[in-house]
Amino acid sequence: MARKPYHLRATCITNWLRAGLPVAEVARRAGNSPEVIHRRYAGVIDDSQEENNKRIEMAMGWDSPSGT
């Protein structure tokens, strides 16, 4: 278990971000501003760069069916 209740909150926020919730929604649910979420959880948000690149490629029609 967490040493302090705050640790549970941070874990929850991290899990929401990793699940793909928009930063603005995570901020609203956590009672913070999006700026605070970006500042405090930048590593979690930045870790999704590969997935974000895939989403951009799909949206732009750059993905190929063969995966190449």
Q: Is the pLDDT of residue 1 over 60?
A: no
Q: Specify if 35 maps to a domain.
A: yes
pLDDT at 67: 53
**How confident is the model over 14-37, as pLDDT tens digits?**
999 988 899 999 999 999 999 999
Residues comprising the chain, all counted: 68
CA 53 to chain centre: 14
Domain that holds residue 36: 5-58
Q: Specify if 34 maps to a domain.
A: yes
* Predicted confidence band of residue 44 (pLDDT cuts 50, 70, 90): confident
Cα(46)–Cα(64) distance, integer angstroms: 25
Q: Specify if 65 maps to a domain.
A: no
- CA distances in angstroms from 49 to 26, 53, 61, listed in the order given: 18, 6, 18
Q: Specify if 24 maps to a domain.
A: yes
pTM (2 decimals)?
0.65
Q: Which residues contact 17 (CB under 8 A, 6 or more apart)?
A: 23, 26, 37, 41, 44, 45, 48
Looking at per-residue pLDDT, the higher value among 3 and 68 belongs to 3
